[in-house]
Amino acid sequence: MAEAERGIGTPDVDDQAVASAERPRGRRRILALFGVAVVAYLLDLGSKMLVVARLEHHEPINVVGDLLRFEAVRNPGAAFGIGEAFTVIFTIIAATVIVVIARLARKLYSLPWAIALGLLLGGALGNLTDRIFRAPGVFRGAVVDFIAPSHFAVFNLADSAIVCGGVLIVLLSFRGLDPDGTVHKD
């Protein structure tokens, strides 16, 4: 009788309790994603502003002997300076990554995934900002790199955030944790 009184398509009390319990948890994960992204973006932006103001057109600074130095480098290409002629394509890829992460955020119920995607989002925004607003022009701008370990490519904090986010995503995938919070054993 209670089933007939409830009406067709009306969720029962248990369904409503589950839905309301998931909403705040999902909101917190989305806030975590965007919080991590904002922190990564601001650290990257601030460090690049400092490098441009204080280090560009100056001698590199040795931080740890010959192992690590800070050196201002403008990189129009991708990682390791590859693809300098494809700056517009890298801009489109970064913008696409940002859109995909923003769309995925709605289905996010895992804090580790929120952190990983936040790192990717913050790093992509950091390098996209350079590509849009730095010389030689819109969508062709060179990224400011400055962390220069010996015998390795020069990079920035946005690159570090992207790599850390990518490694975390691989680890989460190997552990079977999905962005929606479910765990599978494949």
Residue 150 in any domain: the answer is yes
Could you tell me if 142 and 136 are in contact, meaning their C-beta atoms sit under 8 angstroms apart? yes
Provide CB contacts within 8 A for 78, sequence distance 6+. 86, 90
The total domain count for the chain is 1
**Residues acting as catalytic residues:** 145, 159
Q: Does residue 104 come out as left (phi exceeding 0), alpha (psi in the -120 to 50 range) or beta?
A: alpha
Residue 6: which pLDDT band, with cuts at 50, 70 and 90? very low
For residue range 85-121, list pLDDT tens digits in order.
777 888 888 899 999 999 989 889 999 999 999 999 9
Q: Regarding predicted confidence, which is higher, 62 or 8? A: 62
Residue 15 in any domain: the answer is no
Residue 120 in any domain: the answer is yes
Residue 55 in any domain: the answer is yes
Tokens of 70: 């800070």
Q: Range of 75's domain? A: 24-175
Q: Give the orientation angle of helix 13-54 with respect to helix 157-175, to 10 degrees.
A: 150
Residue with structure tokens 């015998």? 151
Mean pLDDT lowest for which of 10-14, 39-43, 58-62? 10-14
For the chain, the average pLDDT equals: 86
Residue 181 in any domain: the answer is no
Q: Is the dihedral of CA 155, 94, 46, 26 positive or negative?
A: negative
The pLDDT value given to residue 76 = 86
pLDDT above 50: residue 135? yes
**pTM, whole model, 2 decimals?**
0.82
For residue range 53-90, list pLDDT tens digits in order.
999 999 999 999 999 999 999 998 776 667 777 778 88
The pLDDT value given to residue 185 = 78
Q: Regarding predicted confidence, which is higher, 21 or 86? A: 86
Residue 10 in any domain: the answer is no
The pLDDT value given to residue 134 = 93
Residue 1 in any domain: the answer is no
Residue 19 in any domain: the answer is no
Cα–Cα–Cα angle for 91, 96, 98, nearest 5°?
100
